[in-house]
Amino acid sequence: MELRDLQVLGGVYVASVVVGAVVFYNEPVLSMLLLMASLAIVSYVPGYFLLKKVVENVAERLLFGSAVSVAIIGVGAYYLGLFGLQLSFSSYLLPLAVLGVGLWASR
């Protein structure tokens, strides 16, 4: 993981916090920050690292990585549910597993 990756992901997180502050203006700040962090961990952070070696452009990596990450997590949660693992476990397990694979593959 490079410093540029952290800067890009931090900038996207700050932009999502600003949009979240406008949309959820009646909500407490801490709950809005936690909501944006959970959306970041589930949606664009795992896909960003999964596609690091494949896509060079940062904007394309964020866009396609978000779609890939949400698709992998959604399909994975479906199949884990078929195998009997409850959704409450897979909502924590799958994003961390996809993020771990992405970090391992991007080294």
CB of 98 closer than 8 Å to CB of 49: no
Separation between Cα atoms, residue 21 and residue 99, nearest integer Å: 26
Which among 91, 5, 3, 11 has a CA at the least distance from the CA of 50? 5
Amino acid symbol at 80: L
Separation between Cα atoms, residue 43 and residue 49, nearest integer Å: 11
Inform me whether the pLDDT recorded for 53 exceeds 90.
Answer: no
CB of 105 closer than 8 Å to CB of 50: yes
Separation between Cα atoms, residue 55 and residue 24, nearest integer Å: 33
CB of 32 closer than 8 Å to CB of 17: yes
Domain parsing of the chain, residue ranges: 3-105
Measured in residues, the chain has a length of 107
Task: Determine the pLDDT at residue 30.
Answer: 92
Task: Determine the pLDDT at residue 52.
Answer: 87
- Only one residue has tokens 């060079």, namely 56
Q: What percent of the chain has pLDDT over 70?
A: 99
Q: pTM for this one?
A: 0.80
Q: What percent of the chain has pLDDT over 90?
A: 36
